[in-house]
Amino acid sequence: MKAEVINPFLESARSVIQQVVQVSPSTGSMGVKEIIPVQDHIWIQIGMTGHFSGMVVFGLQETVALRIVSAMMGGFVLTEMDEMGQSAISELGNMISGNASTILSNQGFAVDITPPQIIKTENATGMGPRKALCIPLLMDGIGELDIQVMIS
């Protein structure tokens, strides 16, 4: 795993969340973590090819995803992760990953990303367990979003 790959995703996530959620996230401790499907979680999975290959997964509790989507929608409170909510949280992952791939490109790394795939606990059968370089983003009043990088 390449630690330098996570920094563009961290920088991008902080910037995008600041813009669309109106919260300035703080950064938790980076470490290697075993990714295993847990109850009431959502993962936004982005594939990556080119100079780096693998995937980046944004993991968060469903209640945190609902708070993020509600903030993205100007305070309209969402009580369940319906199709509109999944589309919005997917777009958040797309924005973060697109910005991160631009940062990587500016650093001389040619990468392509896949469209985001939303994985919920009940259909996470092919998702684990795997080791990932992980860094949590902590958002006051909202919760935690884990950036998990599995790149070779």
Q: What is the pLDDT of residues 53-103, one digit of tens each?
A: 899 999 999 999 999 999 998 888 888 889 999 999 999 999 999 999 999
Round the average pLDDT of the chain to a whole number and report it.
89
Per the structure block, which two tokens stand in for 66? 């609902």
Residue 126 has pLDDT above 60, yes or no: no
Q: Is 73 exposed, middle or buried (0-12, 13-18, 19+ CB in 10 A)?
A: middle
pLDDT, position 121: 72
**Pair 17, 25: CB distance under 8 Å:** yes
- Interhelix angle 83-106/3-21, rounded to 10 degrees, is 130
Taking the C-alpha atoms of residue 29 and residue 36, their distance in angstroms, rounded to an integer, is 19
